[in-house]
Amino acid sequence: MKNQNLKEIIDTYFKHANLKHVEIEKGETLFNGKDAVSHIYFLKDGELSIILNSQTVWQAFHHEFIGITSYFNHESKYSSTVKAYKKSQLIQISTEDFKAALVTYPALNTYLMKLFSNRINLIYEHTKTHASLTRKKRLLKLILDKVEPNQNNRYSFRYTSKEISEFIGAPHNYVKTILANLQDKKLINFNQGLIEIIDLKGLRLVSE
């Protein structure tokens, strides 16, 4: 099992399941806390935001299982809301087929339980860090954690101000005010929801 990636696990252990291919556009909701736990999803490609109590607690990228936290916690409804940050392609697995695979392949059950435990720890550490920081520190940490080089030999941040507010659990107007302040200090360029980092070193100094 340890030498298999998640795609191989789908191909091997769910090959007899009635799988459905699902595609959702950016901004669309895959499921929310009001929906009954009826399916587990495998993210083939794209990026999803997992939102708990109006705050994005982590991002799921390709080749991840979505919904296993609620499933292994034996919840009747999903514990979080999942939205597409990017256009995403998923494989939908009914909970009946998911359970059958776990019963048929004990090694799969062990592997996914470990994955589930790691995810719980990840969310716990994220929440603990989040609680220990001010909203401004959360915002700066998020930008510095997610910054990427662009073609202009600068750095860009690919989340909008509205998405930042979801990540850090702060009002959208507050986020826009902080970003405007950073722009006044010539640390970033903030235009129409897009952020370009002008002075990465200066931004790091401000965050300390």
**Sign of the four-CA dihedral 85, 89, 91, 92:** positive
> According to the model, what pLDDT value does residue 51 have?
86
CA 76 to chain CA mean position, Å:
22
Domains and CATH numbers, the chain: 6-131 (2.60.120.10), 133-207 (1.10.10.10)
Q: Which stretch of 34-43, 114-123, 170-179 has the lowest confidence by average pLDDT?
A: 114-123
Output the six-digit token pair for 208. 């300390």
pLDDT in the model for residue 1: 43
Written as one letter, the residue type at 165 is: S
Nearest to 62 by CA among 84, 79, 38: 84
Q: Residue 169 corresponds to which tokens in the numbers above?
A: 């659990």
Report the C-alpha gap between 145 and 139 in whole angstroms: 10
In the predicted model, what is the mean pLDDT of residues 97-101?
A: 94
Specify the pLDDT at position 21.
Answer: 95
Average per-residue pLDDT for the chain: 85
Mean pLDDT computed over 134-144: 86
Q: Which long-range contacts (CB under 8 A, 24 or more apart) does 182-190 make?
A: 182/206, 188/143, 188/157, 190/161
pLDDT tier for residue 184 given thresholds of 50, 70 and 90: very high
SS3 200: helix
**Residue 198 — φ and ψ, nearest 5°?**
-90, -40
Strands (E) in the chain, as ranges, are 20-24, 29-31, 39-45, 48-52, 55-60, 64-66, 81-84, 88-94, 148-149, 155-157, 188-191, 194-197
pLDDT at 160: 83
Rounded CA gap, 52 and 55, in Å?
5
Report percent pLDDT > 90 for the chain. 34
User: What confidence category does residue 3 fall into, taking pLDDT thresholds of 50, 70 and 90?
Assistant: very low
Find the mean pLDDT for residues 86-101: 94
Mean pLDDT of 203-208: 86
Position 165 confidence tier, pLDDT thresholds 50, 70, 90: confident
Query: Average pLDDT for residues 181-208, to the nearest whole number?
Result: 85
Contact 88, 62 (CB under 8 A): no
Give residue 116's pLDDT.
80
Cβ–Cβ < 8 Å for 95, 65? no
Nearest to 200 by CA among 147, 139, 142, 136: 147
Mean pLDDT of 77-98: 93
